[in-house]
Amino acid sequence: MVLKEREHRTLEGEDQDHLVAIINSSLRVANIHHFFSWSQGAIQFLLPHEILVCGFAMGPDLPMRFMRFSSSRYFDETRFSEVCHPEEGLLPRMISHSNETGHACMLGTGAPKRYFEEALLPLLEHSELRSAAADGQRGPDGRLKSYFCFSRVEMPLGSHVEYLLQLLVPFLHTTLSRVIANEEPDAGMAGVQNVPSVTAREVQVLHHIKLGKTNQQIAEELALSPLTVKNHVQRILRKLKASNRGHAVTLAINIGVLKA
């Protein structure tokens, strides 16, 4: 495997601020629950997604252990186990692709063919992931030591998403390493991690609530009906155990879902 030369790119506008916020907030991530809030909060502004599956090699020549951080009820324990199956699962196959090619693996509508193998498409269709964009951190031998798969990605797959992965993966790796070191031996590493939290859409609603907008204004901004926005707000209050909209914003900032 030969690592390809990286094309020079740069972030522009608000994306630069989003990356700085991701880096700063990563320093406050100390456990699995913090990591979930970080992935579903700060990272959403740069790479919006519904599901994140992380693989981490716990030592030399050891297979990766997998964790999921999901706001989707459709990606359940059964689907997760199937995706991570060491012989037939989608994730190990994607990891092999990235190890062999030296670059990200992407699957889904519009993904350029250089990012995937045709044989992976039926596995994606069965998985409930819909789309997948993944890459990992490599060790001195060039082999992957960790792997981060973003699924149900809400932007076109291609070179820009690959660039975002190149930016995010080192911080994901360092942050998850710290989380694992802080946990009790094997705590949280048996497989599934599915901490209840707000969805990507609810983060958007919270952002507009923070700006002081009414349900009608939020509906117009997000192209939703006022009733749908009202239902989102009610779910947000229930999930965060907030007494009102302002309280929900404060709690969301405290757990890293919203930027202060």
pLDDT (0 to 100) of residue 222: 92
pLDDT (0 to 100) of residue 256: 64
> In 3D, which of 125, 124, 116, 128 has the Cα closest to residue 50?
128
- Report pLDDT digits (tens) over 106-130: 999 899 999 998 999 999 988 889 9
Q: Which helix (H) or strand (E) holds 147?
A: strand 146-151
- Report pLDDT digits (tens) over 18-70: 999 999 999 999 888 889 888 888 899 999 999 999 999 887 777 788 999 88
3-state secondary structure 40-103: HCHHHHCCCCCEEEEEEECCCCCCEEEEEEECCCCCCHHHHHHHCCCCCCHHHHHHHHHHHHCC
Record the pTM. Answer: 0.72
Domains and CATH numbers, the chain: 15-182 (3.30.450.80), 200-254 (1.10.10.10)
Cα distance between the two ends of the chain: 43
Contact between 204 and 217 under an 8 Å Cβ cutoff? The reply is no
